[in-house]
Amino acid sequence: MIKPILAGWLLAIAIFGQAQAQTLDRIVAVVEDDVILERELNNEAAAIVNKLRSNNVAIPPEYVLRKQVLERMVIDKLQRQLAARSGIQVSDETLRNSVGEIAGRNNMSVEEFKRELVSQGMDYKAFEENLRNEIIINQLRGREIGARIKVTDAEVAHYLETQSKAGTGNTQYHLGHILISVSEGASAGAIQKAKDKAEQIVADLRSGKDFKETAVSVSNDDNALKGGDLGWRGIGQIPTLFTDTVTTMAQGDVSDPIRSPSGFHIIKMLETEGSAQHIVTKTKVRHILIKTNELVDDAEAQKRLLALNERIRDGDDFATLARAHSDDKGSAINGGSLDWVAPGALVPPFEEAMNKLGINEISAPIQTQFGWHIIQVLGRQDQDNSDQFKKDRVRDEIRKRKIEEETELWLRRLRDEAYVEIEQDRL
């Protein structure tokens, strides 16, 4: 009697397991020639819920959240499909380097970083795959959008002049953003419906409804699942469409709907602050470089530099030795001088070694991608770099603003022109 009963239980468990697997593997969306499975949507939705909770953002109703997450997954898949057709790939070496950079920014070795991810319940292989996809999409956007974006000196000058007159050049804005999208070629009725929806959202927000929760629930912007947070921006980094509105807003204000080709935008002023004088420490430095090749390996390069270092300590002139021995021909003719350099102007290993030296001190041999160096610091001075810093920041902000505006239109066009079929009853 025991064996038939046990067999029946095993059969029931097997059938239940198969049914559960079939349920989890149901298709929730067809995206061109690929699909998104319910299991994938469940996993992504769970990850987003954890992020929202950790940021103290209220969780919207399940159907609303899953719809938002699925839309982001559709856009992501469309970009990866285009990248694949374009031949964009990320090598394992590039991926390892990117992981190393992320670990370094968190003051960890790669192994420590892996252990930290695992301790937080994250699958490292999944992390690598997500990072690979992110790199691929960034390369795609760089090719499709970034390469076309140019910022002229005239634009920088005009911006600085305009903002100086307006008195907003030093102000930073922390903005929230909600987009109610309108597809290209939408009917007048569809446009009016989107406008009415945007106006109702503005009224709700001004009545005290939580902005982040609303953005997660209704926004069609790429930042929706971050609560619509655009972060801190200078005026030049804010889309041109919003600048006139933003400069008149006080903290906590919610704008009226702003129309663009993408739809209707709602902006909330979360915070503002001014910016201070920008001081940098410049270093006057010179070096001698020995490159490695078929005849000179790492050990030989270090040996030569140590011998030169010894001669300098014995009284030989650094500049004379640089002219005679340095493989950096550009600086060798100037006695190895790189003149006054600002932070970030040199490769990191060189700059790190340079920053540890006292005045007139000479380093031990250090390696960079160019070869082996000895370095001598001749002086340091603080300099008010505010004007150049401001120009560089403005140029960067204008470029980012242009890229953001173009990306928004490009993604909307990519979505509108694609074949996407969503199984609404599986959300």
Average pLDDT over residues 173-177: 92
Average pLDDT over residues 135-152: 89
Q: Residue 117 in 3-state DSSP?
A: helix
What domains sit in the chain, N to C, each tagged with a CATH number? 166-275+388-426 (3.10.50.40), 279-384 (3.10.50.40)
Highest mean pLDDT among 82-91, 238-247, 302-311: 302-311
Residue 206, Cα to own-chain centre: how many angstroms? 31
Residue whose entry in the numeric block shows the structure tokens 């190895």 = 336
Strands 27-31 and 420-422: antiparallel
Q: How confident is the model at residue 21 (pLDDT cuts 50, 70, 90)?
A: very low
**CB atoms closer than 10 angstroms to residue 254:** 19
Q: How confident is the model at residue 163 (pLDDT cuts 50, 70, 90)?
A: low
**Residue 58 and residue 54: Cα distance in Å, rounded?**
10
**Residues 197-242: tens digit of each pLDDT:** 999 999 999 988 889 989 999 999 888 888 999 988 887 778 888 8
Question: What pLDDT score does 310 carry?
Answer: 95
Strands 229-234 and 263-274: unpaired
**Residues 253-272: tens digit of each pLDDT:** 999 999 998 899 999 999 88
Average pLDDT over residues 293-309: 94
Strands 263-274 and 279-290: unpaired
- Annotate 94-132 with b (16+ C-beta within 10 A) or e (fewer): eeeebbeeebeeeeeeeeebbeebeeeeeeeeebbeeeb
Average pLDDT over residues 164-179: 76
Q: How confident is the model at residue 426 (pLDDT cuts 50, 70, 90)?
A: confident
**Residues 63-101: tens digit of each pLDDT:** 899 999 999 999 999 999 999 999 998 888 888 888 888
**Residue 414 and residue 71: Cα distance in Å, rounded?**
13
At 378, give phi and psi (nearest 5°). Answer: -100, -20
**Residues 33-48: tens digit of each pLDDT:** 999 999 999 989 998 9
**Residues 390-399: tens digit of each pLDDT:** 788 788 888 8
Sequence-ordered list of residues with C-beta below 8 angstroms from that of 259, at least 6 positions apart, any chain: 195, 265
Question: What pLDDT score does 132 carry?
Answer: 92
Q: Minimal CA–CA distance to 285: which of 233, 335, 333?
A: 335
HSE-up of residue 135 (Cα within 13 Å, Cβ side): 19
Q: How confident is the model at residue 18 (pLDDT cuts 50, 70, 90)?
A: very low
Question: What pLDDT score does 74 carry?
Answer: 95
Note the maximum CA span of the chain: 100
Name the percent of the chain lying above pLDDT 90.
Answer: 48
Average pLDDT over residues 110-116: 90
Question: What pLDDT score does 17 carry?
Answer: 46
**Residue 253 and residue 205: Cα distance in Å, rounded?**
10
Question: What pLDDT score does 79 carry?
Answer: 95
- Tell if the pTM clears 0.75, that is, is over it: no
Question: What pLDDT score does 19 carry?
Answer: 44
Q: Minimal CA–CA distance to 257: which of 323, 309, 207, 192?
A: 192
Indicate the average pLDDT of the chain.
86
End-to-end Cα distance, the chain:
44
Q: Residue 407 in 3-state DSSP?
A: helix
Structure tokens at 32: 């061109």
